[in-house]
Chains A and B, each alone.
Chain A
């Protein structure tokens, strides 16, 4: 590794869970693991108890909370609308032109495309996306990162892809992550970390490419780039103050198959896009998610993605954050990449898939103990920054798991369990009226969502009637349902598992392809 300033918490850099520690450290880490689940359950149980024993105060809290939610929705809508404008602007910009004034000949793109159970068609589609993207392809190093456990089939896919695409890029490398490596968890993290190291040895060292000139893009297998992605990324890399202390986050669209997926999967997918768009305007709250890019120099210095945990996409940001003593950020580039919305052969399997995918995303809660533990070890990170990050992380996961349940289910509880004395008060009668009115106003924001989502849709394919198009608008009335079933419940599920030390493994999202 290249020389660098010693980080105080470096020895714990790749900690995955409490059981990897010992003594006081283990107890501390375990306590931090339990914290999110405890907070969420105390909140929910607290509201139930308050509704039974002090329904008046529960009603006050619910009115307060509904108002808070309405204003929060307005605040987020402002961010969403602004990012929508910025994103549309960025889609129109000729980023190639923007690069004319900059020296970018030395920049190389290392694109890592991991695949495990995905079909040949899915892999081919993503590689074709890279071919179609603008940019000097001889500067592209593409690594197709397979898993050895896929066996002969995986090697055949890699071989076919190599034949079809190798000549289209500067270098095309197929790697096969060995199975059953001690200390590793099966998943994307261990695969792309292996692929990155192979690329360093086989490509960067062989071709004497300096690490600081390489931008790594770690893509999910189904990622299809929009044409200007790499030009836009290069521009941001070259113009940002310190490109080796930032990651670059695109906006994940789920447009690859959006016309083919069931309505609930669609609403959840577009809601995820909207959340990322909102976060793009709040970069201090942004960590890397799904497909993202960064400097190879930073990635190499931190020792690649973690191999012993699930949420490697967001964890790499926190690895770098603690490694560089809090001097690491995410640059939101407000430029999209397109991926698959969850789709399985049947609607029920799709719904289960959406739930499991969101539980895996919610398992990002495992970053809370990691970050808090490092905050106790790393004295170089400013206290204010520690405080801000702690609040942001804890509040984020707490609200994810509790807010929809409070709004749509527990909010009505005082009326049902508050008892006769409460039920004859004006407050009891007004509680549903006030809460419902505030929620209704908040739901008007869905009109904005519907308009924005329509503008981001790919063209309506032949064979999809106007009914499907109208469905894309009407679908937004399902948001209360999706918020509870595919946001709060998987969030609470993940936190409860972490609370009781029932650690999750990596679950690969279905990428079922509809035959056209």
Chain B
């Protein structure tokens, strides 16, 4: 049996070179977002990245069901979207629906990070007498302008003049009157896209929340520096910093007069003189 002939080898090689030459431009165009439309014209498309971070959520884009997240696949990247406004809806059983309308640009990916909050979070009374009760009592006894008695929490705190400031990761939030603002600590370095407009110009600060009534307390949603918890006289609410299109404003503890503290990464509520742990 003779070795593979030079002719056969040359034919194989030529064939593979041909495949390479044909496939490469297709791959490069595809990878950068070019697609053929219905009339076989080349069009530029963009994409959406939907970072949910939990399983069991149904994702809809432009009211079309896309996928249900699983334990091993908790985010969604959808491409082939023509430039323009696209709606995103994320649903999960027994959770508030999260919606947003976002601009998709050619060859770009618009990122969004939905947050899902239970409609009926598990609320557990903190019994008097225990160590936890004492910690929570001290936390609530402390005014927002005096943090010296608070134990370290994931969000570091400090006082700047009259403003009460909190920082989690590179996100800084602060209160000014009844308004809440956010700023990115590292300038433009890796700044979240919702600080920037379509032309790529980024704002130094974002208005997160403004109320006619007194803002009684605020903090980061535990473990998430894209979402802020606020206590107004009407309850405790979660509000996203991202103010592109509609801002999702979702009740967490919907009782008038309730206050909250985030202590050691957990949410505690004070309601009618009693302390509760709220499992998010």
A-side residues, CB < 8 A to B, are 59-60, 63-64, 67-68, 71, 74-75, 78-79, 82-83, 85-86, 89-90, 280-283, 332, 334, 420, 424-431, 434
Q: Is B16 a contact of A425 with CB atoms below 8 Å?
A: no
Tell me if B190 and A426 are in contact (CB < 8 A): no
Q: Is the CB of A60 within 8 A of B20?
A: no
Q: Does chain A have a CB within 8 A of B95?
A: no
Contacts of A282 in B (CB 8 A): 9
Q: A426 to B33, Cβ gap below 8 A?
A: yes
Q: How far is the CA of A79 from the CA of B3 in the complex (A)?
A: 9
Q: How far is the CA of A283 from the CA of B47 in the complex (A)?
A: 49
> What is the 8 Å Cβ interface bit string for chain B, positions 15-55, against chain A (1 contact, 0 not)?
01001100110011011110000000000011101000000
Q: What are the 10 tightest A-B residue pairs by CB atom distance, in nearest-first order?
A: A426-B33, A430-B31, A281-B4, A89-B1, A71-B16, A82-B4, A427-B32, A86-B1, A426-B107, A426-B47
Is B65 close to A, CB under 8 A? no
Shortest CB-to-CB span from B103 to chain A, Å, is: 12
Give the distance in Å from the alpha carbon of A71 to the alpha carbon of B77 in the complex. Answer: 28
**Proximity bits, B173-194, A CB within 8 Å = 1, else 0:** 0000000000000001111010
| 30 A-B contacts (beta carbon < 8 Å) | A59-B31, A60-B28, A63-B24, A63-B27, A67-B20, A67-B27, A68-B20, A78-B12, A79-B4, A85-B1, A86-B3, A89-B1, A90-B1, A280-B3, A281-B4, A424-B109, A424-B111, A425-B109, A426-B79, A426-B108, A427-B31, A427-B32, A427-B33, A427-B107, A429-B47, A429-B77, A430-B33, A430-B79, A434-B27, A434-B30
Q: A75 near B1 (CB under 8 angstroms)?
A: no
For the complex formed, measure the closest distance between the CB of A266 and the CB atoms of chain B, giving whole angstroms: 27
Q: In the assembled complex, which residues on chain A have CB atoms less than 8 Å from the CB atom of B4?
A: 78-79, 82-83, 281
Quote the shortest CB–CB distance from A393 to chain B (angstroms). Answer: 19
Cross-interface CB contact of B109 among A83, A89, A332, A429, cutoff 8 Å: A429
* Residues of A close to B49: CB separation below 8 A: 429
Flag whether B13 is at the interface (Cβ < 8 A).
yes
The answer to whether A64 and B16 touch (CB under 8 A), given A426-B107, A430-B31, A434-B31, is: no
The residues of B that contact A74 with a CB separation of less than 8 Å are: 16
A227 to chain B, nearest CB (A): 19
A-B contact count (CB 8 A): 83
Closest CB in chain B relative to A412 CB, distance in Å? 15
A411 → B minimal CB distance (Å) = 13
Interface of B (DSSP majority class): mixed
- The answer to whether A420 and B191 touch across the interface, beta carbons within 8 angstroms, is yes
Given contacts A427-B32, A427-B33, contact A75 B12 (CB under 8 A): yes
Bound-state CA distance A501–B210 (Å) is 69
Cβ–Cβ < 8 Å partners of B108 in chain A: 424-426
B1 touches A425 (CB 8 A): no
CB-defined contacts of A59 to chain B, threshold 8 Å: 31
Alpha-carbon gap, A85 to B13, bound state (A): 20
Task: Name the distance in Å between B278's Cβ and chain A's nearest Cβ.
Answer: 35
Q: Are B24 and A67 in contact (CB under 8 A)?
A: yes
| Pair A71/B12 contact, Cβ less than 8 Å | no
Task: Kindly list chain B residues whose C-beta atoms are within 8 Å of the C-beta of A283.
Answer: 3
Cβ contacts under 8 Å, B28 to chain A: 60, 63-64
Chain A residue contacts of B23, Cβ below 8 A = 67
Q: Which residues of A contact B47 (CB under 8 A)?
A: 426, 429
Residues of A within 8 Å of B20, CB to CB, are 67-68, 71
| A283 to B79 Cα, complex, angstroms | 47
CA distance A425 to B105 in the complex (A): 10
The answer for the CA separation of A201 and B110 in the assembled complex, in Å, is 81
| A430 close to B3 (CB less than 8 A) | no
A75 lies within 8 A of B16 (CB): yes
Give the shortest distance, in Å, between B121 (CB) and chain A (any CB).
34
Q: Which residues of B contact A (CB under 8 A)?
A: 1, 3-4, 9, 12-13, 16, 19-20, 23-24, 27-28, 30-33, 45-47, 49, 77, 79, 107-111, 188-191, 193
Verify A426–B27 contact, CB threshold 8 A: no
Measured CA separation A431–B32 after assembly (Å): 9
Complex-state Cα separation, A499 to B47, whole angstroms: 46
Cα(A334)–Cα(B190), bound, Å:
57
Given contacts A64-B24, A420-B190, are A431 and B31 in contact (CB under 8 A)?
Answer: yes
What's the minimum C-beta distance from A248 to chain B, rounded to whole angstroms? 13
Q: Specify the chain A residue showing the minimal Cβ separation from B12.
A: A78
Instruction: State A280–B4 Cα separation when bound (angstroms).
Output: 9
Chain B residues whose C-beta falls within 8 Å of the C-beta of A82 in the assembled complex: 4
The chain A residue sitting closest to B105, CB to CB, is A424
**Among the interface residues A83, A427, A434, which one has the most CB atoms of the partner chain B within 10 A?**
A427
A58 to chain B, nearest CB (A): 13
CB <8 Å contact, B33 and A334: no
For the complex, give the distance between the alpha carbons of A282 and B189 in Å: 52
Please indicate the chain B residues that have their CB under 8 angstroms from the CB of A79 in the complex. 4, 9
State in angstroms the CA–CA spacing of A429 and B16 once bound together: 27
List residues of chain B with CB within 8 A of the CB of A280: 3
Q: Which residue of A is nearest B16, CB measured?
A: A71
A contact residues around B193 at 8 Å (CB): 424
Q: Is the CB of B3 within 8 A of A426?
A: no
A426 touches B46 (CB 8 A): yes
Give Cα A64 to B25, complex, Å: 9
How distant is the Cα of A425 from the Cα of B47 in the complex, in angstroms?
9
7 further interface pairs, Cβ-Cβ under 8 Å (given A426-B47, A427-B33, A431-B31):
A67-B20, A90-B1, A420-B190, A420-B191, A426-B108, A429-B49, A429-B77
Instruction: Please name the residue on chain B nearest to A66 by beta carbon.
Output: B27
From B13, B109, B110, residue with most partner A Cβ within 10 Å:
B109
A424 to B112, CA, bound (A): 12
Which A residues touch B191, using CB under 8 A?
Answer: 420
- Name the CB-closest residue of B to A92: B1
Is the CB–CB distance between B24 and A426 below 8 Å?
A: no
Chain A residue at minimal CB-CB distance from B188: A420
What is the CB-to-nearest-CB distance from B111 to chain A, in angstroms, rounded to a whole number?
7
A334 in contact with B3 (CB, 8 Å): yes
Q: Contact between B16 and A426 (Cβ–Cβ < 8 Å)?
A: no
Instruction: Report how far A427 CA is from B33 CA in the complex, Å.
Output: 7
Shortest Cβ gap from B26 to chain A (Å): 10
For the complex, what is the distance from the CA of A428 to the CA of B107, rounded to whole Å? 10
CB nearest neighbor in A for B111: A424
Measured between beta carbons, the chain A residues less than 8 angstroms from B77 are 429
Q: How far is the CA of A64 from the CA of B20 in the complex (A)?
A: 9
Whether A428 and B3, one on each chain, are in contact in the complex, defined by CB atoms closer than 8 angstroms, is: no
Residue of B nearest to A85 (CB): B1
Which residues on the A side are within 8 Å of B32 (C-beta)?
A: 425-427, 430
A428 to B193, CA, bound (A): 15
Residue of B nearest to A437 (CB): B27
- Report the Cα distance A282→B10, complex, angstroms: 11
Residues of B within 8 A of A89 (CB): 1
Which chain B residues lie closer than 8 Å to A83 at the CB level?
4
Tell me the bound Cα distance from A82 to B12 in angstroms: 13
How far is it, in angstroms, between the C-alpha of A424 and the C-alpha of B190 when the chains are bound? 11
Nearest residue (CB) in A for B26 is A67
Distance in Å: Cβ of B5 to nearest Cβ of chain A: 10
A79 to B9, CA, bound (A): 9
A280 to B9, CA, bound (A): 13
* Residue among B9, B27, B47, B110 with the highest chain A CB neighbour number at 10 A: B27
